[in-house]
């Protein structure tokens, strides 16, 4: 069963691959495709805009189990998530009150375009599923699906791997 913290990302991926009727992929399959393109962020310094009370990550497409810390050092205090609203798709955290200082993010970020490419490549290799992926009067052959997958690989930018990012401590 897919993780609860992945519901938003799985829903977005399902919409992007046009499987709203759940006829092609299960939530577990989509989660696996997302997990193939996950990076871990460990104490990433957030960018702060004091006028708007917004902290911004350089990464988006975050899983829902994020943690914000007030220091990059061990023993730091966790910032309670009731103190801010978040948009996990673009990595934005908005605080109700003015904040001072740097905050640090621990999270998992996913490359949605690579996950879309995985779905399309899987369809290209499984013609029975590809026939089920009915798009009205439009049909796609193996080469069409691979071309669409390559398009999304090109949009993905740098490749996400399962590396742990550790930022320099000052």
The C-alpha atoms of residue 30 and residue 45 are separated, in whole angstroms, by 30
In a domain, 160, yes or no: no
Mean pLDDT estimate for the chain: 87
Domain around 57: 39-110
- Domains: count for the chain: 1
The C-alpha atoms of residue 43 and residue 69 are separated, in whole angstroms, by 8
The C-alpha atoms of residue 99 and residue 58 are separated, in whole angstroms, by 19
In a domain, 48, yes or no: yes
The C-alpha atoms of residue 36 and residue 21 are separated, in whole angstroms, by 24
pLDDT tens digits along 3-58: 999 999 999 999 999 888 888 999 999 999 999 999 999 999 999 987 778 999 99
Q: Say yes or no to pLDDT of 162 above 60.
A: no
- pLDDT attached to residue 158: 58
pLDDT tens digits along 105-126: 999 999 999 999 999 999 999 8
């Amino acid at each position: 069963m897919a993780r609860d913290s992945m519901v938003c990302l799985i829903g977005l991926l399902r919409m992007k691959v046009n499987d709203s009727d759940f006829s092609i992929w299960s939530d577990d399959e989509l989660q696996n495709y997302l997990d193939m393109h996950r990076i871990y962020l460990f104490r990433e310094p957030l960018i702060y805009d004091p006028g708007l009370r917004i902290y911004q990550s350089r990464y988006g497409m975050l899983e829902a189990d994020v943690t914000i810390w007030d220091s990059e050092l061990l023993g730091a205090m966790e910032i309670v998530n009731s103190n801010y609203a978040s948009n996990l798709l673009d990595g934005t955290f908005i605080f109700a009150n003015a904040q001072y200082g740097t905050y640090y993010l621990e999270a998992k970020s996913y490359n949605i375009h690579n996950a879309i490419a995985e779905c399309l490549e899987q369809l290209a290799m499984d013609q029975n599923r590809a026939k089920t992926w009915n798009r009205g009067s439009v049909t796609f052959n193996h080469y069409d699906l691979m071309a669409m997958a390559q398009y999304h690989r090109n949009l993905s930018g740098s490749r996400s791997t399962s590396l742990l990012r550790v930022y320099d401590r000052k």
